[in-house]
Amino acid sequence: AATSDRVAVVRAMPNTPALVGQGAAAIAAGAGAGEDDLAWAEGILAAVGTVVRVPEHHLDAVTGLAGSGPAYLFLVAESLIEAGVLAGLSRPVAEALVTQLFVGSAALLAEHGDAPALRAMVTSPGGTTAAGLRQLEHHGVRAAFLEAVMAATQRSRELG
């Protein structure tokens, strides 16, 4: 928003799910921006998803997590689809199952908000999920996600 004596800058980092009204965006007050300016920007971005306010120095972390995050999840989806095909499913069946897996899991997470508890709810001791999770942990999937976010955050800092 502009006034006669100043130009307000609100920095924003939306992500690609905004294309379907399910984005995650962060905004930060830049030079000359006040509460009215933040509220204006928040109102615009809220039309295409969730908006959070962060200090400006956190926008690189937002970029590494939420800006790049859809690509991380799409890689997971690609991998799960391929695993389904290798396990004997047709590609269309694997794609349909994985797509709904993401939609349903996101809805559960949005409703309950506790990823560790939800994971525990799905995991029976000695069961199939526990076997799969052991492999993921053994192969460092958690660490890989942490490193991916940190690398993307660092690259955002470098790009300015």
Which pLDDT does position 1 carry in this prediction?
52
Instruction: Say which residues have a Cβ less than 8 Å from residue 66's Cβ, sequence separation at least 6.
Output: 13, 15, 24, 25, 26
User: In terms of pTM, does the model score above 0.85?
Assistant: yes
Q: Give the model confidence (pLDDT) of 86-114 as tens digits.
A: 999 999 999 999 999 999 999 999 999 99
More confident residue, 16 or 4: 16
Portion of the chain with pLDDT greater than 90, in percent:
93
Q: Give the model confidence (pLDDT) of 112-150 as tens digits.
A: 999 999 999 999 999 999 999 999 999 999 999 999 999
Gap between the Cα atoms of 64 and 38, Å rounded = 22
3 pLDDT higher than 90: no
What are the chain's domains?
Answer: 10-58 (no CATH), 67-159 (1.10.3730.10)
β-strand pairing of 49-53 with 23-29: parallel
What is the 3-class SS of the chain, one letter each residue?
Answer: CECCCCECCEEEECCHHHHHCCEEEEEEECCCCCHHHHHHHHHHHHCCEEEEECCHHHHHHHHHHHHCHHHHHHHHHHHHHHHHHHCCCCHHHHHHHHHHHHHHHHHHHHHHCCHHHHHHHHCCCCCHHHHHHHHHHHCCHHHHHHHHHHHHHHHHHHHC
